[in-house]
Chain A
Amino acid sequence: MEIQLRVRRYDPESDPAPHWEEYRVEAEPSDRVLDLLHQVKWYQDGTLTFRRSCGHGVCGSDAMLINGRNRLACEYLVKDAGTRVTVEPVRGMRVVKDLLVDMDAFWEKYRSVMPFLVNDELPADGLERRQSPEERDRFEDTSKCIMCAACTTACPSFWSNPDYVGPAAIVNAHRFIFDSRDTATEERLQIMADADGVWRCRTIFNCVEACPRGINVTRAIMEVTREVRSSGGG
């Protein structure tokens, strides 16, 4: 089948403003939107620029706004996208070139929440720390995050306030706040209690809809908010 692919393109070095370009691409219904972009890049126009790696939804490189919604290009099939497909860069981040955005601030926010286990005491028996299946279940959902930024760049609170730490960073704080092995919960809750922390969430639920990993992002934010409150940070 023939697909009409519209891509919002912009090279700040040479273009005065973003513009739309349209391509015609032959595809199978089982092909992914990433395949369409590759067809263009490899055989029609080598200047089209985007990030990608694994091609099957686990590395988080290719979050884009496709047909009006944040998705991974490698996880969205032509049979679902239809014969007219529109692709734009994710919103709220500076466009560097075509579909590729500046991720620096996003990674800075990730780093700001202390996204690592803190516990310098080792078990006396020299074995692993014990953790029950129930204790592990508390952070199972948020441990799935692949840092694709689909949630943060779908969040109206982030669009209106770029200093908001954003859903992705809170998800990664949740990952450790609810890990029974971690000893830095208080520090992390203080970070979350910042004016640009959890309070910016307006429970709009765009993040839940955008997450390609099926993480219940808003619930994670609510759980962190509750911990901040009960620790006196609110």
Chain B
Amino acid sequence: MSVRLADTPARPRVRTHELDAVVVGAGGAGLYAALELKRNLGPEARIGVISKLYPSRSHTGAAQGGVCAALGTTEEDHWEWHWFDTVKGGDYLVDQDAAEVMCHDAVETIINLEHLGMPFNRTEEGRIDQRRFGGHTRNEGEAPVRRACFAADRTGHAILQTLFQQCIRLDVAFYDEYQVLDLQMPDGPGGPVTGVVALQTSTSEIHSFRAKAVLFATGGFGKIFKVTSNAHTLTGDGVAIAYRRGLPLEDMEFFQFHPTGMYKLGFLLSEAMRGEGGFLVNGEGERFMERYAPTMKDLASRDVVSRSIYQEIAAGRGVGGKDFVHLDVRHLGAQVLNEKLPDMTGFIRTYFGLDPLTDLVPIQPTAHYAMGGIPTDIDGRVLADEVGRLVPGFYAAGECACVSVHGGNRLGTNSLLDILVFGRRAGIAMADEVRRAEAPVPDHAAGVGVAAQRDELLSRADGERPAVIRAELAEVMFSHCGVYRTAARLEECRTAVRALRQRAARLVVQDKGLRYNTDLADALELGFLLDCAEATVESAVARTESRGAHARDDFPDRDDVEWLKHTFAFRDAAGGSPRLAYKPVTITRFPPKPRVY
């Protein structure tokens, strides 16, 4: 089929929508923000949620084990303990004022979520039940504490459903299956942001959404790695769009590898399996975490456990000499597995054909979570630079953002908490801005640019297929920019990413139609992945220390003198290496200490 477009390159046909606020992404952060916008601005407010998927497909729904708050329903706990654990878990790269807000707000936010209908598991007294999770301790490291609130092992699913349902109740407008491809920034990189431009998947038509406030809640970019827990659709769209528009990306070198990915598949087996009493064993049947983390053992923070697994494998103690170890949950018994970990039990049966009651489960670290992203303040306002200038009208929350509350390594259950606390706060702050803002000035050039990008891809007759380049990118990022890094491997990776970017300038899309052109989407998403990979590897090359998830064989120690600072990567418009700037870490309460579990 030939391309038939009713518009011309100089003046593409663009459908325009005038809204008060636009939320891009329908996961937990986006939906909570939309809810708060409606609650604060009233039923007449025009609040739109744009998502490239149906909202219930968002990856928040894949989160399993829990969301933490120091409720203390089953044992003594205090939000200040949670604050300490978060700072230590992040290897002191956490901005402590932001983490204070998150851990303090956690309690009220979880209660509010219950009021919205969240089906939490309950204690016998009818309160929200809680369980243990990695890195969460009583009294600054004494012992594991029960802080994770949960709905079986589908906590994210329950959160996503609850927020989507309440958005329906409040009549939020949903634009499903629209892929956002650019921001409207008529005055350039400093802002303001006055809307977004999106491609409607069902028609390939260009839509201009104008709004007084825009939130990016577009999720992560785990698909830059070969073995990942992330969905196929987690391609860093929002992160890359901000980067292309001259905005910085913060701490991109910090990417979390979760210890218990299903071997080769990468899907997650929840940390709750260890929280409920499971443990790791090497090829010799030894509980090796006792050697690496004498106090917290299998519930040390994720970066520590993932590195321990790599060291066991490097020492020849993987199972059968291969690149995996075992998760042992046999002793948990049928009741715990069926009632508290039913989905995990199902995954193991479906994909491995194993029975967790009688079999050991093969696992390997899997690329899971971006600590870095679009820098924001504690109300989701996007920062234009390392000195803290704000971009009017622009907000980010959730995995695409970097507040920074996770620093060098995020604690388990803090991601669901992050989307709730900061999605909610961003929604409230946006409502305030919407009340005061003037009518947005449109950025017509953005629509023209998106149309040109679409038309070029649809009209090119030959070139490389996106999948080929994507596979090479994911392979090199996983092997060279993964759990352990060196200068030599990172340099090779940087060179490889540059070469892939050049090849990606000539992609071919085989589907030339305009209706549900998912081949076109594949090509566009590859571009986003390449931008995220560039910022990740370039930031990693520069950081000559080991901190949190960024572990350098050639610089094995944390260097607080030189590197207690956040990386800000700015894209080079001419195609060269990004410019790197740095911002000091905010330390208010906990001076950096050696990190031992």
Contact = CB atoms under 8 A, between A and B. Distances in A.
Contact of A126 (B111, B120, B128): B111
A13 B53 contact: no
A230 interface: no
A94 interface: no
B416 to A, nearest CB: 15
A11 interface: yes
B107 to A, nearest CB: 10
B265 A59 contact: no
B97 to A, nearest CB: 26
B111 to A, nearest CB: 5
Contacts of A232: none
Given A46-B511, A136-B121, A96 B516 contact: yes
A180 to B, nearest CB: 10
Interface string A205-216: 000000000100
A124 interface: no
B511 A47 contact: yes
A158 interface: no
Contact of B350 (A41, A75, A96): A75
B510 A46 contact: yes
- The interface centre, meaning the residue of A118, A133, A176 with most chain B CB atoms within 10 A of its CB, is A133
Interface in A12-44: 13-14, 30, 41-43
A130 B202 contact: no
Interface in B111-150: 111, 114-117, 119-128
**Chain A contact surface mostly:** loop
B56 interface: yes
Nearest to B111: A128
Interface residues of A, number: 58
B480 to A, nearest CB: 23
Interface stretch (B154-162, B299-307, B387-395, B579-587): B154-162
A58 B156 CA distance: 10
B273 interface: no
B168 A133 contact: no
Contacts of A97: 515-516
B57 A132 contact: no
B353 to A, nearest CB: 8
B561 interface: no
Interface string A114-142: 11111100100011111111011001100
B467 interface: yes
B465 A46 contact: yes
8 shortest interchain CB distances as A-B pairs: A117-B117, A46-B510, A42-B467, A130-B126, A116-B165, A46-B519, A128-B114, A116-B169
Interface of B: 1, 53-54, 56-59, 61-62, 110-111, 114-117, 119-128, 151-152, 154, 157-158, 161-162, 165-166, 168-169, 202, 231-233, 265, 267, 343, 346-347, 350-351, 465-468, 509-511, 513, 515-516, 518-519, 522
16 contacts: A42-B466, A45-B510, A49-B511, A53-B57, A53-B59, A55-B231, A55-B267, A56-B351, A57-B347, A57-B350, A59-B53, A59-B56, A61-B54, A128-B115, A136-B120, A181-B117
